[in-house]
Structure 1
Amino acid sequence: MSVINFNIAQWRAWAPGLESVDDWQAWSRQPVVLADNDAAPDVSFLPAMQRRRLSRLARMAFSVGWPLADGRQDLPLVFISRHGETPRTVDILTDLAHDQPLSPTQFSLSVHNAIIGLWSIMRGETSEMTALAAAGDGLEHGMLEAAALLNEGEPAVLLVITEERPPQAYSSWIDDVPFAYALGLLITPGNDWQLSLNSPGNMLSKPRWPHALSLLPALLGQQTTCQHAWNDRVWTWQRNL
């Protein structure tokens, strides 16, 4: 068993129609699949020319991460997305299929670390940044990365995880995104939270919700423990009150 300890100093989450703490309190008590339209969060804190470059996925990441980074300089960022910019990728593949010229800008913004590149440029941020493409427990792998940075002496780490519904062409293969969502966590040293990893003693059922969404009741104070299972790994989040 491996264990890491940390504090979650602040957090923010976004999904279509869910932005405030009260919104998330209500959803977490009666979680349902949201109608996922093309709604995108407000990023009016950015200049219009900068907003134009942001995809919906990037807007989601910026909407939860930017307020948490407010007033902090040299803040490392761990960005997590299992599927990344799939809409941009489909657009590129569609152009290829129709023998259309490819857009260098479209390609450069489709790669997995494009969002942290935009973050670095728009914030003038040169601290360490990591983009992870993990499986269903990407949230936990991101936490391990954040814990390693704290262990190296960083006073805080920003963790952002976000996914959006895939294009229809991918719907037969991507079934772990019930609706678009983004979660940002400001991680600091401490012992308020504990994350441990164990091997399962028996077969585990597939989780109903992505790990970032099933963590919300603990973040909201509705429970102190939650478990996330993926493949042969069981992650236990413990909030020490």
Structure 2
Amino acid sequence: MSFNIAQWHAWAPGITEAESWQAWARAPFVPADLTLQPDVSFVPAMQRRRLTRLARMSFAAAWPLVQGKTQIPMIFGSRHGETPLTFALLQSLAQHEPLSPTQFGLSVHNAVAGQWSIQRGDIAETCAVAADEDTLEHSIIEACGLLNDGAPEVIVILAEDTPAPFYQDQIDDIPFPFAVALRLIPGTTWTLSSTPAQAGVVTPEPSFGHVLPMLRAMLLGNSSWTHHCPPRSWTWQSQC
């Protein structure tokens, strides 16, 4: 698969601009205050109250890429999705408490994509992806499919929020909350390919999950980066 990354934008607590992300890429760190919230003041207050933190991060990352544009297909990828909200709903069930229909509606995996469409008035295609450790790559595959079908551009949003404390021992690939947005267009600057994974090989910096290492490689100008994700290895190559 081949494509161009026309624009990117990302949000994490205290890492909000290109310069701060460049600094992070040179020397990765975990932000000190993980409770910081993204600025989504561009969303009307009534609708803003319905946005979960995962949705707010996604909006903050992707909104700058769509200014002045309409009807752009969007792929939303998240390995874990709304785990804090889902866990709260499970706690209510365990305590025999009634569930909030609104909270349940916001917990489903395509809720962010639906809210994005509503807020933008955008009826272009959307897709929500959850594909284990290679959610990033499968999101790119979905986007390339849309490009090959004739879409002039596709927005890809990759986002993860801090899981509920109950899951801390099971989820170890979210160093901090983040959202990364890419605007993909047809081209050959980037290629993505897969091969069977070699036994015993792990991706460098596993604690940074499956998205942030790609962003770092891109910001450092690396011409090649491999994500080992058994049973596959994904190779990203850039001609920049």
Question: What TM-score do you get using the length of structure 2 for normalisation?
Answer: 0.95
Specify which of 70, 76, 79 is matched with residue 76 of structure 2.
79
Specify which of 152, 157, 163 is matched with residue 154 of structure 2.
157
The aligned counterpart of 1:210 is 209
> What stretches of structure 1 of length at least 5 have no aligned partner?
none
How far off is 1:36 after superposition?
5.2
The aligned counterpart of 1:220 is 219
Per-residue CA shift, 1:84-135, capped at 9, x if unaligned? 1111111111212222221110111110111111111111111110001111
Query: What amino acid does structure 1 have at the position aligned with 2:239?
Result: N
Per-residue CA shift, 1:36-90, capped at 9, x if unaligned? 5221211111111111000100000001111111122110000001111111111
In 2: Cα distance, 1:35 partner to 1:87 partner: 20
Work out whether 1:59 is the aligned partner of 2:50: no
Does the Cα contact within 8 Å between 1:36 and 1:180 map onto a contact in 2?
no
How far off is 1:35 after superposition?
3.4
How far off is 1:239 after superposition?
1.0
How far off is 1:221 after superposition?
4.3
The aligned counterpart of 1:108 is 105
Does the Cα contact within 8 Å between 2:4 and 2:184 map onto a contact in 1?
yes
Does the Cα contact within 8 Å between 2:175 and 2:207 map onto a contact in 1?
no
The aligned counterpart of 1:236 is 235
In 2: Cα distance, 1:215 partner to 1:235 partner: 11
How far off is 1:157 after superposition?
0.5
The count of corresponding residues between Structure 1 and Structure 2 is 238
Does the Cα contact within 8 Å between 1:218 and 1:239 map onto a contact in 2?
no
Work out whether 1:166 is the aligned partner of 2:172: no
How far off is 1:201 after superposition?
3.6
In 1: Cα distance, 2:6 partner to 2:106 partner: 31
What does 1:1-241 align with in structure 2 at a 5 Å threshold?
A: 4-35=1-32, 37-206=34-203, 207-241=206-240
Question: What TM-score do you get using the length of structure 1 for normalisation?
Answer: 0.94
Does the Cα contact within 8 Å between 2:173 and 2:209 map onto a contact in 1?
yes
Does the Cα contact within 8 Å between 1:5 and 1:191 map onto a contact in 2?
yes
**Aligned-pair Cα RMSD in Å:** 1.3
In 1: Cα distance, 2:66 partner to 2:127 partner: 16
Does the Cα contact within 8 Å between 2:11 and 2:38 map onto a contact in 1?
yes
How far off is 1:14 after superposition?
1.0
The alignment-based identity, stated in percent, is 50
In 2: Cα distance, 1:170 partner to 1:208 partner: 15
> What stretches of structure 2 of length at least 5 have no aligned partner?
none
In 2: Cα distance, 1:165 partner to 1:193 partner: 30
How far off is 1:217 after superposition?
3.0
